[in-house]
Structure 1
Amino acid sequence: MPMEDHKLLYLQNFLQHNQNYRLEDYIQRVKAWEDDARNCYDKQIGLNSDQFAERMLLDGIFVIQLFLMCRYHQRRLPNDRIFNKPWLLNDVGHDMTLLENQMPFFVIQRLFKMAFGAHQQHMPELLELVYQFFEPVTGMEKLPELAMELEVKHFLHVISLSLLPSERKEQNENHKEMKFAPSAMELVAAGSKCLLDIEFENGVLNIPYLALYDSMEYYFRNIIAFEQCYCKNRYLTNYVAFMDCLVDTPGDAELQINKDIIENWLSNKEAVAQLLNALGKEIELSRDHHFYSLSDKLIKHCQRPHNKWKAMFKRDYCSSLWVVILVITTGVLLLLTVAQTVCSVLSLT
């Protein structure tokens, strides 16, 4: 509620800069979209037609102005309460990613087109502005291609698309039993050398780089909630469940931090394990073929005794250059001793 007056200031500023349409024109246009907009919500919204249109318009213009002011500093209001307080801008960004706070993206997109459609060539696409606004907190490297191909539902949907694997895997419903991956320490004990793009080939597990900070749980939980409620392919949910298996203890977390897989912005390694374990708690897994087959490969790898023996040998006898030299020297001396013994036996015969 304290933000409502500020939204009105943004609306006034928006109308001053975009005089092709009056306020009444925008309201009438939003009213024409009312049925489609209401159908985007699970529950009935207790607002009459006028109130609903005003709410859609006020919130829609607010986020458009927010995106534009983020990109073009000259658009900002004098003594702007949001941009003059970085913590408040961060809070607004958090609120805009809550699943329960999403508004239909098509409403914002149509308002944006009304205002800038005639000179769109001089204005970035709305999705570009969305990407730029959320990039600092989500770490999106680029605007997801799928966001331009699919019908985007809302901001959280755009963020979730940025987390999809480069090659989307289809679910395989034939698997009846969900297999859970071994922990990172178990994998190392079985000889997995590197934990860096979730692929497992020739005893090497590759995992994409992950930065963990305080607000990560906030974003992940909302995307997981979105996937659990509305998505058939639950990529982030399965990824979090997989990472939860890998990081079972603080020792697993420390291993991944030391391997530069996890960049830890939390207090300590215990906090990393706690965060991933908390995210993976009580989530419903889908039978994603990629993660199922990956877990199956890891389990079979750990169950082979020779992998553990080989890993133990490397750990105990190949941990440093001097140890390797010592092992080689010992092996050469042993061979020479055997050869000398054989030669002595042969000379006696």
Structure 2
Amino acid sequence: MNQEFPSFLQISFNYLKYVGYRTSCPTESPKHFTDLTRTSIISSSKFVLRAQEACKERKHVHSASQLREAGLKFKVSPNENECLLDLTYSSEGVLTMPMLNIGDDTEMFFRNIVAFEHCHLSDHTNIITQYQKILDFLINTEKDVNILVEKKIIVNTMDDANKVPTMVNNLDSNLIVPRFNSHYDSLCNSLNDFYENPRNKYKAIFIHEYFNTPWKIASTVAAIVLLLLTLIQTICSIISLF
């Protein structure tokens, strides 16, 4: 691109680019200034925009707290300039996500783009909507938010962590659940398969039922100690008979 005489697209991109997310000037002219913001994010992705393909329906993915109880590890992308959309899953049970800054203007930012995609684009190009829906799957409660904040995946600058799930869950209200491209569909399948693995699933159920709160932990530990003391007393009583 001619740096001495930049195009109108380049000038618009330089003026409107959203600070805080990795962006690249799109190669094709956007349909709207909102689309410019959208395509500048998508253009910096490594893989989510592949050739047009049949997108697949996805009704459910387990939440962040459920997945962590099953043993899944969450990790922030080591590259600070990683595209927001580039979520990856490794076979070792690690979900890597780029850092997401959430503040008072985040809802407006996503809502405008999701509305644009919903009104003007087809399934295989509504990438931001698909990304937002994955967030909606992962985040249901303040506990889910705290997990992602703890791992530095989410940087929350709002005054209340409980505002985050409310915002995320409200973004796609009254919208049709998007179909996912092959990368996101594969990632969601991997997360659900990890949770549904019998060993991981029963581990999650055990942690949720017995170690989910400080009171449950205390009562479970007390019950285990009482059981051990009873067992020791029984053994000592049997030994004393001989």
Give the equivalent residue in structure 1 for 2:69.
189
The DSSP-based 3-state class of the residue aligned with 1:163 is helix
Q: CA deviation at 1:134?
A: 2.1
Matches within 5 A, 1:320-339: none
Residue type of the alignment partner of 2:191: L
Distance 1:153 1:170 in 2: 20
Q: CA deviation at 1:281?
A: 2.0
The DSSP-based 3-state class of the residue aligned with 2:54 is coil
Give the equivalent residue in structure 2 for 1:236.
128
The DSSP-based 3-state class of the residue aligned with 2:155 is strand
1:227-266 Cα shifts (integer Å, max 9, x gaps)? 1111121101111111011001010011111110011011
Q: CA deviation at 1:160?
A: 0.6
Unaligned runs of 5+ in 2: 77-85, 212-242
Matches within 5 A, 1:191-210: 191-196=71-76, 197-201=86-90, 202-210=92-100
Matches within 5 A, 1:141-152: 141-144=22-25, 147=26, 149-152=27-30
Matches within 5 A, 1:80-99: none
Q: Is the CA contact 1:237–1:283 (under 8 Å) kept in the aligned structure 2?
A: no
Q: Is the CA contact 2:113–2:128 (under 8 Å) kept in the aligned structure 1?
A: yes
Please state if 1:220 is matched with 2:98: no
Q: CA deviation at 1:132?
A: 2.6
Please state if 1:299 is matched with 2:192: yes
Aligned in 2, Cα 1:276/1:298: closer, same or farther, shift over 3 Å? same
Residue type of the alignment partner of 1:130: S
Distance 1:281 1:269 in 2: 20
Residue type of the alignment partner of 1:251: K
1:74-95 Cα shifts (integer Å, max 9, x gaps)? xxxxxxxxxxxxxxxxxxxxxx
Q: Is the CA contact 2:24–2:41 (under 8 Å) kept in the aligned structure 1?
A: no
Q: Which protein is bigger by CA-based radius of gyration? A: 1
Residue type of the alignment partner of 2:24: L
1:160 aligns with one of 15, 38, 46? 38
Distance 2:55 2:6 in 1: 45
Q: RCO higher in 1 or 2 (8 Å CA, sep ≥ 6)?
A: 2
The structure carrying a bigger helix percent of its residues is: 1
Distance 1:236 1:230 in 2: 13
The DSSP-based 3-state class of the residue aligned with 2:73 is coil
The DSSP-based 3-state class of the residue aligned with 2:74 is coil
State the number of aligned residues.
190
Aligned in 2, Cα 1:138/1:228: closer, same or farther, shift over 3 Å? farther
Q: CA deviation at 1:151?
A: 2.8
Aligned in 2, Cα 1:280/1:174: closer, same or farther, shift over 3 Å? closer
The DSSP-based 3-state class of the residue aligned with 1:255 is helix
Cα RMSD (Å) of the superposition? 2.5
Distance 2:55 2:35 in 1: 28
Matches within 5 A, 1:9-48: none
Q: Is the CA contact 1:301–1:307 (under 8 Å) kept in the aligned structure 2?
A: yes
Q: Is the CA contact 1:212–1:263 (under 8 Å) kept in the aligned structure 2?
A: yes
For normalisation by structure 1, the TM-score amounts to: 0.49
Deviates most, 234-243 or 192-201: 192-201
Q: Is the CA contact 1:184–1:255 (under 8 Å) kept in the aligned structure 2?
A: yes
Give the equivalent residue in structure 1 for 2:167.
275
Give the equivalent residue in structure 1 for 2:153.
261
Give the equivalent residue in structure 1 for 2:239.
none
Q: Is the CA contact 2:9–2:29 (under 8 Å) kept in the aligned structure 1?
A: no
Q: Is the CA contact 2:75–2:94 (under 8 Å) kept in the aligned structure 1?
A: yes
Q: Is the CA contact 1:240–1:276 (under 8 Å) kept in the aligned structure 2?
A: yes
Aligned in 2, Cα 1:160/1:243: closer, same or farther, shift over 3 Å? same
Residue type of the alignment partner of 1:185: S
Aligned in 2, Cα 1:265/1:141: closer, same or farther, shift over 3 Å? same
Unaligned runs of 5+ in 1: 1-119, 317-349
Distance 2:55 2:5 in 1: 48
1:60-104 Cα shifts (integer Å, max 9, x gaps)? xxxxxxxxxxxxxxxxxxxxxxxxxxxxxxxxxxxxxxxxxxxxx
Give the equivalent residue in structure 1 for 2:79.
none
